[in-house]
Amino acid sequence: MRAQEFLQKTYGVSDAIVQWQSPRESQRGDASTSIALSLAKNIGEKPMVVAKSLAQELSKLPEVERAEVAGTGYVNVWLKPAALLRELSASRKAHVESVKANQRKKQNVVLDYSHPNIAKPLGVHHLLSTIVGQAITNIYRNAGYNAIAINHIGDWGTQFGKLAVAFRRWGTKPIEQYTLDELLGLYVKFHDEAEKDESLEEEARLAFRDLEQGQSDLRTFWETVVGITMRSMQRPYERLHVTFDLVQGESFYEDKMAPILEEGKAKKLFTIGKEGALIVEFPEETKLPPAIVLKADGSTIYFTRDLATARYRIDTWHPLEILYVVDVAQQQYFQQLFATLKLLEWDLPVMEHVIFGRMRFIDRQMSTRKGNILKLEEVLDEAVTRAKQVIADHRETIQTDDEAALAEMMGVGAVAYGILSQNRKMDMVFDWDKFLSFEGNSAPYLQYTHARARSVLRKGDANEKQQFPDDIEVLAETERLLLKTLLLFPSVLEDARETRMPHKLANYLFQLCQDFNAFYNREPILKAESDQRDFRLTLTREMADVLRTGAELLTLRLPDRM
Ligand code: ARG
């Protein structure tokens, strides 16, 4: 503001908007502007002259430590420690206020994630959806939104017909005695046999039709299978710190589809296609192929249920947004879904298909498994086994009285964070060594840094309420950087939420840890004198608190000791 006034007064420019950047390089100060360069031409002055006079003016400000001209006319400003600290608390306050304002508005956001298909192998995309979805949900909640987390399980559809046929033919004991693995076995057997005997597919289709029509044996069979699958998911969800407000699977919409089919027909949007199915066609410019709404034999499909799902969610929660965290493979499907809703002319919230890319496995064993069948529990167990090894390898540095708990926290965290630290829109890489490394952008690195900070705080007898002393005159370079990184936390959270990109938060936490470790390695904390010691302990506590808050949003847990 001051810069703007000054330029107006001195050079008579009325439209000079001064933009400030916050560079990370310490030689560029806390704030940097190129206004002198862009103004110089207009006012017929040399950039250096404008920059010098501006720097001189700014250095008179009480909050400015020094202002310097750099390069061909940049002005870099260093703030006084007290001013930086004031900014930190102001940004905190603004953040708290915005969370409260959001809470008052009671804005609902529906998040649809994880959604495994019952009695079908769990695909790797379910693991990704589960973790990414939970992180986004946590970030929304933290920002004051009322997030409604829904597990839209695939508990309806032809696969139940297949399973019923397989059980009828090759079942060896009552269905309730089957484990999930054995159900998978039945399912796989069906597919193997169906390759040889085409009539099986037809039999399965009929079985599902009977189920839809309410045949009671099939109904009981179905309920049992759903129960077995859901119970087996409970443990892995708990371990991953994943929770849902509602499990409303596809079957939930069984009786909610008819009115929409009627509406679509009445509006002449749903028409009979060549093969007798009910279809919806899209405007030329969308370039979307027609979608089937109802099969020729009258059975509903995934798409039909998603139409009903959208209607139900809109009517029930009047949400601001509905987010579907689903594999990029379903991109066209969601385009068709959203296009259909538009054609129906419903009053729609923001609807977004939150995509994620493919996962590539570095581990040979994992990548050669047929059809990417990935058992969540197995992955987590493997991660914990590997974490135990990592702990053993770092015997001299790691101290813990509960090794099993630490290995669980580290292993599970490594998988979750390994995924969340990657840009979800790109193809991702599943790399055990990277996920469990102590040096890079990994869960163990964050966990170790946190434990290190807490240990300093314990030794320094720092209490939780300790505030920054306000008469700090100088800042070491690493202190200034860490402080500036802390300042960014609220805006990073907001950016991660707006873009639904958890990796932005992950990258920030990694940076925060690096900045803290640089500070920790350079500056004495416990051995510093009075005010400086208080300052450094408070800085350490602030860092540990931000790290914990941020990490927990990413479903990670951090130890106080290790
Ligand atoms: N169960 C589906 C699958 O595994 C994903 C469901 C996504 N949610 C939705 N409302 N369509 O591919």
Does any domain span residue 89? Answer: no
Is 495 found in the same domain as 414? yes
pLDDT at 3 over 90: no
Residue 449 lies in a domain: yes
Domain termination site, one of 315, 336, 356: 356
Looking at the structure, tell me whether residues 136 and 239 fall in a common domain: yes
pLDDT in tens, 31-88: 999 999 988 888 888 999 999 999 999 999 999 999 999 999 999 999 999 999 999 9
- Count of CB atoms within 10 A of residue 295's CB? 17
Residue 512 lies in a domain: yes
- Domain end call among 337, 356, 375: 356
Domain identity same for 42 and 138? no
8 vs 1, higher pLDDT: 8
pLDDT digits (tens, 9 = 90+) for 204-239: 999 998 998 899 999 999 999 999 999 989 999 999
- CATH of residue 126: 3.40.50.620
Q: Shortest CA distance to 135 belongs to which of 415, 452, 542?
A: 415
Q: Are residues 45 and 114 in the same domain?
A: no
Residues having CB closer than 6 A to ligand 1 are 112, 115, 117, 152, 154, 306, 309, 324, 326
Atom index in ligand 1 nearest the CA of residue 309 equals 10
Q: Same structural domain for residues 125 and 145? A: yes
Q: What domain range includes position 382?
A: 364-553
Atom of ligand 1 nearest to the CA of 123: 4
Which of 127, 152, 248, 312 to mutate to test ligand 1, by most ligand atoms within 8 A of the CB atom?
A: 152
Same domain, 45 and 163: no
Kindly state whether residues 333 and 381 are assigned to the same domain: no
Domain count, the chain: 3
Helices 124-142 + 376-393 axis angle, to 10: 80
CATH number of the structural domain spanning residue 540: 1.10.730.10
Same-domain status, 338 and 208 = yes
pLDDT tens digits for range 318-348: 999 999 999 999 999 999 999 999 999 999 9
In a domain, 102, yes or no: no
Secondary structure, 3-state, 92-146: HHHHHHHHHHHHHHCCEEEEECCCCECCCCCEHHHHHHHHHHHHHHHHHHHCCCE
CA of 218 to the centre of ligand 1 (A): 23
pLDDT at 372 (0 to 100):
53
Task: For 477-533, write each residue's pLDDT tens digit.
Answer: 999 999 999 999 999 999 999 999 999 999 999 999 999 999 999 999 999 988 999
Asked whether residue 100 is assigned to any structural domain, the reply reads: no
The tens digit of pLDDT for each residue in 267-284 reads: 999 999 988 999 999 999
CATH code of residue 23 = 3.30.1360.70
* Residue 68 DSSP SS3: strand
Of the candidates 79, 95, 118, which is a domain's last residue? 79
Q: Is residue 560 part of a domain?
A: no
At 362 the pLDDT is: 86
Phi, psi dihedral angles at 108 (to 5 degrees): -85, 140
Same domain, 214 and 336: yes
Instruction: Give pLDDT, residue 370.
Output: 57
Q: Give 419 Cα–ligand 1 centroid separation in angstroms.
A: 20
Note whether 316 and 334 are same-domain residues: yes
184 in a domain, yes or no?
yes
* 8 A C-beta contact, residue 84 and residue 480: yes
Q: Is residue 167 part of a domain?
A: yes
Do 269 and 136 share a structural domain?
yes
Question: Is 530 in the same domain as 464?
Answer: yes
pLDDT at 368: 63
